[in-house]
């Protein structure tokens, strides 16, 4: 179940260089390539001649050339030329709206007529020199909604991430979930605790004593189609917690762009944006490596969870108060995807 009339992160710019990139998004096999520097195009990954994947071809003078028989394609999906053949009468293949913004390549798998670039999420930190970002990409063999569940309920940190960001106080502190239209926010605030290993490292990097009690916060925000942004951090206790001045806290945004590949697989673009020591590239790499290890700990759990759910699809799962954010996100996805299907059927 996918929302199709939406912008999804499909790739990072460095993934699309002088060669085409094949990637499936919302069940659509798409080839991404650069017809010229600074520009990205996206077509069906299907050569109209014999059905070969265009992603196995090459880019020549701005045209996408099929690697099977040399058919040349334009950015609009129309055939241009082929050695020794007349091909301009071929029906075009589908082209997809695509944009490069905020350090990501975005694609719109739905109705092109609705694909305004104004609908791409605004990421203020991506345009602010006082912020730094580092991240990565995982392919995960699970329903993308399981990852949304995972990120909207951070109680699992105590168990899955016990040596990095988990601590008993997460279990012991109730979370609060609020909804506003299509968005959901789950928040948890912990006071007067010891920082876990990952945050002690961040405190040292920011020049803060890592053995002092801290106030810690987690604010998880879901927005359709499948994005979760999480405000996280710690502040020296007694200085206002989340509202503490910058010199008394380490504050970051965990960036989670969750892109469905199929019903049981997804592309997970993860990262962390921070507003301290933004120019320190070594620190960015250190945080990225640490965060990558943390997220890798989720992969086995999610993939085995998916295997269980696929094996026993008739089993009904328990819904607890900690699941409220993920439950709301699922309802939003079901409603929006259902409305799209109804519109398509009525057309």
For 36-61, what is each residue's pLDDT tens digit? 999 999 999 999 998 999 999 999 99
In the chain, CATH 3.90.380.10 covers 128-339
CB 170 within 8 A of CB 191: no
pLDDT at 124 > cutoff 80: yes
How far apart CA 182 and CA 31 sit, in angstroms, is 31
- Residue 175 is predicted with a pLDDT of 83
Distance of CA 307 to the CA centre of its chain: 22
CB 290 within 8 A of CB 133: no
In the chain, CATH 2.102.10.10 covers 8-118
User: Which of these, 312, 198, 212, lies nearest to 254 by C-alpha position?
Assistant: 198
For 254-309, what is each residue's pLDDT tens digit? 999 999 999 999 999 999 999 988 999 999 998 899 888 888 888 888 999 999 99
Segment 189-198 shows an average pLDDT of: 92
How far apart CA 288 and CA 112 sit, in angstroms, is 35
How far apart CA 167 and CA 285 sit, in angstroms, is 24
pLDDT at 189 > cutoff 80: yes
278-284's contacts with Cβ under 8 Å and 24+ in sequence apart are 278/129, 278/130, 278/131, 278/132, 279/132, 280/132, 280/205, 283/132, 283/205, 284/132, 284/133, 284/134
pLDDT at 186 > cutoff 70: yes
Q: What is the 3-state secondary structure (H, E, C) of the chain?
A: CCCCCCCEEEECHHHCCCCCEEEEECCEEEEEEEEECCEEEEEECCCCCCCCCHHHCEEECCEEECCCCCCEECCCCCEEEECCECCCCCCCCCECCEEEECCEEEECCCCHHHCCHHHCCCCHHHHCCCCEEEEEEEEECCCHHHHHHHHHCHHHHHHHCCCCCCCHHHHHCCCEEEEECCEEEEEEEEEEECCCHHHHHHHHHCCCCCCCCEEEEEEEEEECCCEEEEEEEEEECCCCHHHCCHHHEEEEEEEEEEEEEECCEEEEEEEEEECCCCCCHHHHHHHHHHHHHHHHHHHHHHHHHHHHHHHCCCCCCCCCHHHHHHHHHHHHHHHHHHHHHHHHHHC
Segment 156-185 shows an average pLDDT of: 75
pLDDT at 17 > cutoff 60: yes
Distances (CA, A) of 174 to 69, 154, 169, 231: 61, 11, 9, 17
For 169-180, what is each residue's pLDDT tens digit? 667 777 888 888
Q: Indicate the fold that domain 8-118 takes in CATH.
A: Rieske Iron-sulfur Protein (2.102.10)
Please, what is the average pLDDT of the chain? 91
Percent with pLDDT over 90 in the chain: 71
- Residue 341 is predicted with a pLDDT of 87
Q: Per residue in 239-253, is it b (16+ CB within 10 Å) or e — as a string?
A: eebbebeeebbbbbb
Q: Indicate the fold that domain 128-339 takes in CATH.
A: Naphthalene 1,2-dioxygenase Alpha Subunit; Chain A, domain 1 (3.90.380)
Give the contacts of 217 (CB within 8 A, at least 6 positions apart).
187, 188, 189, 190, 231, 232, 233, 234, 241, 242
Per the model's pLDDT, the better-predicted residue between 156 and 326 turns out to be 326
pLDDT at 165 > cutoff 90: no
* Model confidence band, residue 86 (pLDDT cutoffs 50, 70, 90): confident
How far apart CA 320 and CA 186 sit, in angstroms, is 14
């Amino acid at each position: 179940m996918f929302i199709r009339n939406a912008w999804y992160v499909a790739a990072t710019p460095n993934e699309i260089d002088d060669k085409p990139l094949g990637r499936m998004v919302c069940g659509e096999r798409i080839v991404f390539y650069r017809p010229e520097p600074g520009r990205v195009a996206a077509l069906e990954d299907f050569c109209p001649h014999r059905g070969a994947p265009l992603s196995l071809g090459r880019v020549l003078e701005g045209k996408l050339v099929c690697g099977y028989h040399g058919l040349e394609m334009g950015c609009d999906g129309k055939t241009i030329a082929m050695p020794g053949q007349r091909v301009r009468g071929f029906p075009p293949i589908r082209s997809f709206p695509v944009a490069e913004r905020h350090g990501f390549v975005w694609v719109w798998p739905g109705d092109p007529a609705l694909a305004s670039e104004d609908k791409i999420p605004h990421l203020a930190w991506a345009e602010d020199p006082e912020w730094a970002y580092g991240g990565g990409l995982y392919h995960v063999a699970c329903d993308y909604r399981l990852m949304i569940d995972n990120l909207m309920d951070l109680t699992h940190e105590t168990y899955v991430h016990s040596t990095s960001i988990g601590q008993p106080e997460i279990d012991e502190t109730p979370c609060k979930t609020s909804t506003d239209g299509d968005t959901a926010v789950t928040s948890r605030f912990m006071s007067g605790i010891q920082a876990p290993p990952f945050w002690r490292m961040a405190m040292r990097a920011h020049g803060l004593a890592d053995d002092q009690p801290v106030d810690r916060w987690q604010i998880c925000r879901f927005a359709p189609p499948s994005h979760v942004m999480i405000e996280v951090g710690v502040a020296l206790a007694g200085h206002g917690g989340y509202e503490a001045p910058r010199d008394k806290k380490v504050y970051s945004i965990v960036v989670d762009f969750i892109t469905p590949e199929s019903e049981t697989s997804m592309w997970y673009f993860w990262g962390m944006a921070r507003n301290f020591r933004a120019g320190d590239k070594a620190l960015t790499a250190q945080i990225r490596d640490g965060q990558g290890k943390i997220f890798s700990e989720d992969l086995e759990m999610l993939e085995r969870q998916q295997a269980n759910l696929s094996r026993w699809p008739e089993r009904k799962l328990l819904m607890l108060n900690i699941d409220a954010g993920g439950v709301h996100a699922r309802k939003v996805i079901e409603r929006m995807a259902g409305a799209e299907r109804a519109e398509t059927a009525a057309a």
